[in-house]
A and B are shown apart, each in its own frame.
Chain A
Amino acid sequence: MKTTLKRTALAGLLIATACDLTVVNPGPVADAALDDAAAHQALVNGMGRAVSRALGYIAYTSAVASKEVVSAGHRNPAQLGITPRQAIGILAPDLEESNDHWKFSQQARWVAEDGVRRMRESLGSEFEKSPLAAQALVHVGFANRLLGENMCEAVFDGGPIEPRIKYFERAEAAFTEAIAVAGAAANAPLVNAGVAGRASVRVWQGNWPGVVADAERVPSSFVYRTLYSSTESEMYNRIFAANVTTARAHSAVGTFFDAYYKATGDKRTSWSTDPAFPKGSADVLWYFQTKFTSRGAAVNLASGREMRLLRAEASLRAGDWQGALSALNALRTESGVITVTATGLSETWTMLGRERSIELWLEGRRLGDLFRFKRDGVPGSFEDMTARDTCFPIGVSELDANPNV
């Protein structure tokens, strides 16, 4: 028995020494590693990716909700389809409806804001002149703008529901700091991005002098884009990817852009047809957009041309409808399309609304515009949104998991 016990102890010892349970697996990155300054570039890149993904979801679904396109029958959202509720303009918080839109746009905001926090702690005073910090702040601004323009309500970091205007407050603060930091870093493109971004959020805050002041600073040729991937399905330009021949999920048929493009040939709203596939995945004529021509096609977040539209809108709000119309037609002439006419304030608002929808087609901006015009009670005739939603609800994953909501 004694021998047995000795052998048992020996075996136990052998096993114990063999049991090294410490395993370091490559791949996923430990949270603490992101505090290192060497990780900042990738952290900022991640912010850009998060904003792109969130915009990709929102731009596509809001295009359907705001009638930039219509459903062509493919209805499985997991494969870039459009759900029946989305097709009729209902934006529900459920998993397959609008939950992804909420969670990805919230993640974009959090990643950017958390990244800025880490960078601030890590860089100290260097933060104030770091081009990376400027880029991060621009991401914070656009992530909040995306939420503000499209979400009905605001939630921050597991907190309670707040009015959506809070997003714009954060966005404006971030853009303002970005302008300063980018200026200190002598990074003109980021200064312009910050200024253009701030102008677009001041619109929502009703700060029209501020809008004009910022919009005037941005060159007309300036464009700030978010990027997509042609090889990673999660990062496809979803509007393009949903409309290849194997999906044929949406169509421009019957929309304002159907007749408008036929009448004007305005390349900003171009679509086409394929004789081999005359119809979408259901019995709907397939007019597929050609504004985006690849899965990796970039989408504008801000542009000098939009700034000109903002200045036109500011003129209109100031009662100068002729000035506004003139600004619109200047843009149209540059775009190679016929000019438009109006006889007064109301018709000019109609033209402004149309021009914004043309200039910003499929860029995830129209739903917010329609909400804003209605909120502000501006005159003019806009897309009929009766019985349709003009903003995304809080997603079910937030409703289920956040005790403060």
Chain B
Amino acid sequence: MDTLSRCILFTSLALGPIKADAQVSIQGRVSERGTGRPISGARVTVGATASDTTRADGRYRIAVTIGNSLRTLRVTKLGYVPAEKSVSIEAGSSASHDFELESRPRGLDDIVVTGSAGPTAVRSVGHSIAQIRPADVPEPIASIDHLLTSRIPGVSVLPSTGMVGSGAKIRLRGSASVALSNQPLVYVDGVRIRSDGYPKNSPQFGERSRGTNDTPSPLNDIDPSDIERIEVVRGPAAATLYGTEAAAGVIQIFTRRGVRGRTVWNSQLTSGISYVRPFGPSNEPFMRLDPWLRNALGVGYSLSAAGGGDVRYYLSSSWNRNEGVLPNDLEKRLTVRANFDVVPLSKVKLALSAAVTNNDLSNTSAGPNAQGLTQNVYRGVSNATGVFTKESLDRILAWDLTTGIDHTLAGVTAVFTPDRSTSHSFTLGHDRANNEIRSLRPYGFVFATQGILSSERWASATTTADYLGRFATGSGSVRGSIAWGGQVITTDVSSVSGYGEGFAGPSDPTISSAALTLASESRLRSVVAGVFSEATAGWKERLYLTAGLRIDGSSSFGSNLGLQPFPRASLAWIASEEGFWPQRLGTLKLRAAYGEAGRAPGVFDAARTWSAVSHDGKPAYLPLSVGNPLLGPERSAETEFGFDAESNSGERRASFTAYRRTTRNALLPVAPPPSLGFVDPQLKNVGTFKTSGAEMALAATWRFRAASLETGLDVSLNKSRAVNLGGTADFILDGVAWISEGRPTPVLIGPLLTNPDEIAEPVVEENHVFGPNLPTRIVGANGALHLKGVTFSARAEYQGGSYLVNSASRALYGQGVHPSCESAYASLKAGKREGLRAWEREYCVAATVRRDGLIVPGDFLRLRDASITVPLPGTLMRSRRASVTLAARNYLLFKSSQIEAFEPDMGGRDGMFAPVRAIEVSVPTPATISFAVRATYW
């Protein structure tokens, strides 16, 4: 008996005893209008009794007893406009009825998970939550960073460099902390993964800047084609249930699952070319780097199979090989995923997920690094090899920088539903990354003739144990639910590294073959555990009140601190359900939420400790941390309110949220008096910061005779201020941006040249307060035109309101080798200073260039994506559905005219760990032209 037959049989059984009445079969296929994609999981009903759910191929079949001759066949599916038609049920007929459903955004009855205690209908959620579905994205998705860029208001993705493997910083509603990581928590299928970057490739001994000066991101180990949807909650008002570490928000990724039915195969081939667009002045558009830049080829293949019966499965594999624009840059990434859903017992469901990624990265030495390619090339004749020729600088490319990443993620969720009102959900998960980080400057290397090799084995493991219980009660107009649970997150990070210097000859060495060898080890473990409870009361399915509390303990807290409570409350009112609401206006939900969340200090931050170091090869102790037994988490309290509105057709949508966040007990690095022996700052809970802002998302679909146009506009505003530093003095982060009372966090303060274009001596205003380092205005605009099956799409992002130090340009000015000064250098050499403009006198006289200057607006407008997707005839690929997409990514950039060279998203000092943004001597984000062929088979 096949699955379909069983389904029919069970359906029939459910309908009651089999009668001898004659039956007819109604069957058909449900697909998405416009794309033709089959829709699985749609509910097809005939009248009130007969029904079926569509399989992966979109097909259904219903056995219907002949009765009334005319019946209503109705199809419903969340995210689509319901459709129905009248069908005639007559003896002997076996009609086929296909449906094309109109896609529409999930409305109030969509289910979300993140920020709530388990799956919850959107209508009852009082906080803001945003979702991205890759299936809705027309262009090929390069990475999770790319998927998150400029698609959700309040989410800013800040690239580090243009090197392969480079991970981006993700900020939700700006920075939540001054002293701790601002990367949001990331969950994949309910399992916490590492969200901070991997360590950069640099030696553990000697100068730490000798390497890539960039960091890969664990997020980018996830294959975008495996993702069903991503939910984002942007602040403590929504993230309270995640507790001590959630103040920076939460990103939850849900991977695709199998659906009952025949196997559906999806394949994708992507190929592209990346190259750097001009980023310098007209006389040196590539800042001398052009001989080393290349057109980088990238190719990717992915294949997935999904389907199943009692055991549903989703299996996938992808392979990517991406060259970088710098000569040694190459990424080779293999990802394999297996997701299974099983119902072993009638009341128990099991969901298993496992994924393995192997990523082999090779990089070029770059960033602020006297032995790096980019710094030396940009410096021209002032480079450290002494000669500015390609042959001389090519010697740097002998440096072999490799990072091997093995990332494994496995999780299982068991849901036990003893009755209709109660459920218990257990999740166990383990995320583990093992990296081999190797840096070889071989024998004969230009800057280390005897050779240097460093090798590090680094591992990060995060274990999640999670329990959630839910009980629903009530009837009639009043319904309620209570949820309770607990969570334990254990994080282990360890590293063993070796270092060797001085090899006997030019063979391929190991550390053991070095004349001098050194080793180091670190092991860090932290445990955070919490319990929570949340209660929701609903009235007439239009008014929902939720209150919750999480209580956390952490191994990072000071010994005298104890447990930390984080409360929350929210209210959702579906105003459009009220009688006074004109139905023609669609739906409107008003919401308000308050919540608190924290950010835990580091593993050793509370303890008074000494570091074990060496002196003359012997063990030695030095003061490390002065300690603070009262150290606790930062506490961020956030209030937000807003609305979600949608027209009846689903073609007009608007969402707005205003928020205000206050971070108390903010952890600040307070420097003790050096005369007391401990010189490193100690974290203390002394600061108060405020952040406020607004987010708006508008979307509309415009229909024409033969075409439709989807448009979207996202706007987010963010303003931060350091209210109180608890008596500590203003301090500088990373030597670039300040934390200063009464000012944005962080803020750029420095000299302002007030008369740059005058032919006069420079007039400099000292200690000018420029403004925040993070963008305060982000606007994303997108459009997709569907015309006769062909889709044209484009997406642009504007970031404004921020200021950056152009460290890269400043270094070249200080060396007297900046191309912008070419004519000024000639004038100065001829003794004609009097003809120079003020900025030339300020920056083109190398000896007097200031180390604290060149603060520039970080504003830019970038065309993030543009694409055209053309459906292919099924016969061409022998597939059920196929398309080809031609796409351009990061093709156009408009930046402030004050950034005369380099680009605003060129970081590359500490990659994702850099606490502030600055323009460094790295390589800019390249433009990519790619095409993708996608095909589906079943």
Contacts and interface: CB of A to CB of B under 8 A. Distances in A.
A281 B382 contact: yes
Contacts of A155: 673, 675
Interface string B599-629: 0000110011111111110111111110100
A18 B527 CA distance: 11
Given A84-B851, A283-B846, A23 B529 contact: no
A43 B610 CA distance: 10
Contact of B526 (A23, A26, A73, A227): A23
Contacts of B554: 21
Contacts of A3: 418
Nearest to A53: B622
Contacts of A157: 675-676
Contact of B675 (A110, A245, A283): A110
A387 interface: no
B531 A15 contact: yes
A14 B467 contact: yes
Interface string A210-231: 0000000000000000010111
Interface string A8-22: 100110110011111
A83 interface: yes
A401 interface: yes
A48 B370 CA distance: 30
A29 B624 CA distance: 9
Interface stretch (B202-210, B278-286, B660-668, B881-889): B202-210
B816 A283 contact: yes
A231 B208 CA distance: 11
Given A11-B484, A15-B467, A21-B553, A49 B675 contact: no
A232 B555 contact: no
Contact size class for A?
A: 35 or more
Given A4-B422, A107-B623, A227 B846 contact: no
Q: Which of A12, A25, A49, A83 has the most CB of B within 10 A?
A: A25
Contact of A28 (B484, B486, B604): B604
A129 interface: no
B488 interface: yes
Interface stretch (A74-82, A300-308, A352-360): A74-82
Contact of A25 (B518, B603, B729): B603
A117 B208 CA distance: 35
Interface string A74-106: 011011000110000000000110000011101
Nearest to B473: A1
A22 B102 CA distance: 55
B847 interface: yes
A402 B678 CA distance: 13
B616 A34 contact: no
Contact of A46 (B370, B469, B516, B613): B613
Nearest to A159: B675
Interface stretch (A193-201, A361-369, A392-400): A392-400
A110 B677 contact: yes
Interface string A43-55: 1011011101000
Contacts of B732: 95
A37 interface: no
A123 interface: no
A246 to B, nearest CB: 4
B729 A400 contact: yes
B210 to A, nearest CB: 10
A276 interface: yes
A28 B615 contact: no
A52 B616 CA distance: 11
A246 B384 contact: yes
B672 interface: yes
A78 B735 contact: yes
Contacts of A14: 467
Contacts of A231: 205-206, 499, 501, 516, 518
A281 B379 CA distance: 11
A111 interface: yes
Contacts of A232: 205-206, 614
Given A78-B735, A277-B386, A401-B670, A18 B677 contact: no
B32 to A, nearest CB: 41
Contacts of A107: 622-623, 674, 677-679
B621 A42 contact: yes
Contact of A7 (B205, B424, B524, B679): B424
A18 B471 CA distance: 24
A30 B816 contact: no
A34 B621 contact: yes
A25 B524 contact: yes
Contacts of B814: 73, 75
Given A282-B846, A282-B847, A398-B674, A12 B486 contact: yes
Interface in B743-759: none
A3 B419 CA distance: 11
Contacts of A400: 671, 728-729
Given A18-B465, A22-B555, A28-B604, A397 B674 contact: yes
A156 interface: yes
B741 to A, nearest CB: 13
Nearest to A274: B386
A376 interface: no
A42 B619 contact: yes
A335 to B, nearest CB: 28
B522 interface: yes
A48 B620 contact: yes
A75 B603 CA distance: 35
Interface in B328-383: 368, 370-371, 382
Contacts of B610: 28-31, 33-34, 46
A79 B850 CA distance: 16
A173 interface: no
Contacts of B612: 27-29, 42
A106 B676 CA distance: 8
Contacts of B485: 11
Given A21-B527, A46-B622, 8 more contacts: A29-B611, A31-B609, A76-B851, A106-B675, A155-B673, A231-B518, A281-B382, A400-B671
User: Which 9 A-B residue pairings sit nearest by Cβ, starting from the closest?
Assistant: A110-B677, A15-B486, A45-B620, A103-B674, A28-B609, A49-B615, A19-B529, A402-B673, A23-B555
Interface of A: 1, 3-4, 7-8, 11-12, 14-15, 18-23, 25-31, 33-34, 39, 41-43, 45-46, 48-50, 52, 73, 75-76, 78-79, 83-84, 95-96, 102-104, 106-107, 109-111, 114, 155-159, 227, 229-233, 235, 245-247, 276-277, 281-283, 395-398, 400-402, 405
11 contacts: A11-B484, A21-B554, A23-B555, A28-B610, A30-B609, A96-B735, A106-B674, A233-B206, A246-B370, A283-B846, A396-B729
